[in-house]
């Protein structure tokens, strides 16, 4: 049997590998604590579930949806953007539903990149910023996110000829995997850079709703000029505990949204109407829910940061996202530390380099497990380090 070579150009999806490893260990009776995957452990808000039940009971929702999305959904997104972010998007022409942020990232690459184009992708970064452009036949220029730059890309460091060939720039703040928030002025610099080089900015806003200590992550679309050069992908997955539901929106530049719809009408048949209507409940009645979730993650963040500091692993507390980006102890690289905690502590963490070469020296820990499991994970990591040190 013959397979397309493009599949060999991307590694097997990181989390698929991790899931397999966890399954094998669990099948052997080992109590594995997985901090490897950012999948919220708590349920979707009751009102959203109730609305889904009601909508599924209405036969009108059972037919093919349209790729444009229901006007109720588009208006709910536009209303949320206006009230939450102070960003204006036209529900008619500047918003449409996508089947999760992952679909949005992968397909925007297919809609906007050609073979020979350059895609600027953050390193470390969410893996589809690599696979999307690869499947589109584009070349990728990684933008290192370095700690000394607040994990923001340095556009000035990019050679002029590379910038000239670039068609798409992916940004993602609050950031996965580093937990960093957008430094002041970054979005303005991105707009200028995009204008200068005539490229599209795709801002991945998957984590804007999970933030702590009074910080309110902005939308890229609230930046002056952003809609001329960009779109944003806004997902309900993390803020409303809806990862299994597969619902997000793409919003911003009307021409890009239209091209995206053109692509999608040839690929899929849109999103289940009942799901769009349940999402309306999330974006209207349940707007406060992500704040409650943020409080849960803030508590877990503090607990984990304290436990890590107590065992000699200091980490900066993130101001957003359910992730801790931890520098591995001296004497280890990311892979060795990941292996140590997996084998000696049965704790799964994600090695930094699986998000890109600049992730070396770090691991990502996800706070999407109950508090007592986090405490247990910290204790187990401590004893595995003690055993390793021969104490
Ligand atoms: C940066 C980033 N973007 C997008 C996604 C995808 O989210 P979903 O497809 O569930 O909306 C994730 C999920 O972990 C993510 O970390």
pLDDT in tens, the chain (391 residues): 988 888 888 876 666 777 787 888 899 999 999 999 899 999 999 999 999 999 999 999 999 999 999 999 999 999 999 999 999 999 999 999 999 999 999 999 999 999 999 999 999 999 999 999 999 999 999 999 999 999 999 999 999 999 999 999 999 999 999 999 999 999 999 999 999 999 999 999 999 999 999 999 999 999 999 999 999 999 999 999 999 999 999 999 999 999 999 999 999 999 999 999 999 999 999 999 999 999 999 999 999 999 889 888 999 999 999 999 999 999 999 989 998 898 889 999 999 999 999 999 999 999 999 999 998 998 898 888 776 766 5
Q: Separation of 274 CA from ligand 1 center, angstroms?
A: 22
Q: Separation of 28 CA from ligand 1 center, angstroms?
A: 30
Is 249 in a helix, a strand, or coil?
strand
Q: Separation of 219 CA from ligand 1 center, angstroms?
A: 16
With beta carbons less than 8 A apart as the criterion, state whether 274 and 52 touch.
yes
Q: Separation of 331 CA from ligand 1 center, angstroms?
A: 32
Please tell me the chain's helix, strand, coil percentages from 3-state DSSP, rounded to the nearest 5: 45, 15, 40
Query: Which residue pairs, CB below 8 angstroms and at least 24 apart, start in 292-297?
Result: 293/40, 293/42, 293/209, 293/210, 293/239, 293/240, 293/241, 294/209, 294/210, 294/211, 294/212, 296/42, 297/210, 297/212, 297/322, 297/367
Rounded to whole angstroms, how far apart are CA atoms 37 and 305?
A: 18
Question: What's the token pair of residue 70?
Answer: 């229901």
- Which atom of ligand 1 has the smallest separation from the CA of 242? 10
Q: 321: which DSSP letter?
A: S
Q: Separation of 2 CA from ligand 1 center, angstroms?
A: 31
- Please give the angle made by the CA atoms of 40, 44 and 48, to the nearest 5 degrees: 155
Question: Phi, psi (5° rounding) for residue 358?
Answer: -75, -5
**Spatial CB neighbours of 106, under 8 Å, sequence gap ≥ 6:** 128, 131, 132, 135
DSSP sequence for 261-292: HHHHHTT-----HHHHHHHHHHHTTTTTHHHH
Instruction: Please tell me the predicted confidence (pLDDT) of residue 391.
Output: 58
* Pocket perturbation via mutation, ligand 1, pick of 104, 176, 178, 323 by most ligand atoms within 8 A of CB: 176
DSSP sequence for 71-88: HHHHHHHHHHIIIII---
Residue list, ligand 1 pocket, CB within 6 Å? 38, 100-102, 126, 172, 176, 204, 206, 235, 237, 243, 248
* Pocket perturbation via mutation, ligand 1, pick of 124, 207, 237, 318 by most ligand atoms within 8 A of CB: 237
- Which atom of ligand 1 has the smallest separation from the CA of 172? 1
Rounded to whole angstroms, how far apart are CA atoms 57 and 130?
A: 40
Q: 12: which DSSP letter?
A: S
- Which atom of ligand 1 has the smallest separation from the CA of 99? 9
Q: Of 208, 253, 211, 227, give the one whose Cα is nearest residue 80.
A: 208
With beta carbons less than 8 A apart as the criterion, state whether 176 and 126 touch.
yes
Q: Separation of 324 CA from ligand 1 center, angstroms?
A: 16
**Spatial CB neighbours of 35, under 8 Å, sequence gap ≥ 6:** 347, 348, 349, 365, 366, 367, 368, 369, 374, 377
Q: Separation of 206 CA from ligand 1 center, angstroms?
A: 6
Q: 357: which DSSP letter?
A: G
- Which atom of ligand 1 has the smallest separation from the CA of 248? 11
- Which atom of ligand 1 has the smallest separation from the CA of 175? 1
Map tokens 């595995």 to a residue.
384
Q: Is the pTM of this model over 0.75?
A: yes
With beta carbons less than 8 A apart as the criterion, state whether 152 and 103 touch.
no
Residue nearest to atom 16 of ligand 1 (CA): 176
Is 122 in a helix, a strand, or coil?
strand
Q: Separation of 204 CA from ligand 1 center, angstroms?
A: 8
Taking the C-alpha atoms of 65, 71, 75 and 77 in order, what is their torsion angle to the nearest 10 degrees? 10
Instruction: Please tell me the predicted confidence (pLDDT) of residue 378.
Output: 86
- Strand extents, DSSP E, 59-199: 95-98, 118-123, 139-144, 166-171
């Amino acid at each position: 049997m013959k397979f397309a070579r493009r599949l060999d150009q991307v590694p097997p999806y990181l989390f698929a590998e991790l899931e397999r490893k966890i399954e094998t260990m669990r099948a052997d009776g080992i109590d594995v604590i997985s901090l490897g995957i950012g999948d919220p452990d708590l349920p979707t808000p009751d009102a959203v579930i109730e609305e889904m039940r009601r909508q599924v009971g209405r036969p009108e929702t059972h037919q093919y949806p349209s790729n444009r999305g229901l006007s109720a959904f588009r208006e709910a997104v536009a209303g949320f953007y206006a009230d939450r972010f102070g960003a204006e998007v036209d529900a008619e022409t500047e918003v449409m539903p996508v089947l999760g942020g992952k679909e949005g990232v992968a397909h925007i690459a297919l809609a906007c990149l050609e073979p020979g184009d350059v895609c600027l992708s953050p390193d470390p970064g969410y893996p589809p910023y690599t696979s999307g452009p690869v499947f589109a036949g584009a070349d990728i220029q990684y933008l290192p996110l370095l700690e000394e730059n607040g994990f923001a890309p340095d556009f000035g460091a990019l050679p002029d000829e590379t910038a000239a060939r670039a068609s798409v720039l992916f940004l993602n703040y609050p950031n996965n995997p580093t937990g960093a928030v957008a430094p002041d002025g970054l979005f303005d610099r991105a707009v200028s850079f995009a204008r200068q080089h005539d490229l599209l900015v795709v801002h991945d806003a998957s984590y804007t709703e999970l933030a702590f200590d009074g910080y309110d992550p902005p939308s890229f679309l609230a930046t002056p000029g952003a809609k001329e050069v960009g779109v944003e992908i806004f997902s309900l997955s993390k803020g409303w505990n809806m990862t299994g539901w597969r619902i997000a929106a793409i919003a911003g530049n009307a021409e890009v949204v239209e091209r995206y719809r053109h692509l999608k009408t040839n690929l899929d048949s849109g999103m289940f109407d009942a799901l769009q209507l349940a999402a309306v409940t999330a974006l209207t009645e349940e707007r406060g829910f992500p704040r409650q979730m943020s409080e849960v993650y803030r508590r877990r963040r503090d607990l984990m940061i304290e436990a890590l500091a107590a065992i000699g692993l200091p980490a900066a507390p993130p101001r957003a996202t359910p992730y801790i980006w931890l520098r591995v102890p001296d004497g280890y690289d990311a892979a060795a530390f990941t292996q140590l905690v997996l084998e000696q502590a049965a704790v799964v963490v994600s090695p930094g380099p699986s998000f890109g070469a600049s992730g070396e020296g770090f691991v990502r820990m996800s706070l999407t497990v109950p508090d007592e499991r986090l405490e247990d994970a910290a204790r187990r990591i401590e004893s595995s380090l003690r055993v390793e040190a021969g104490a």
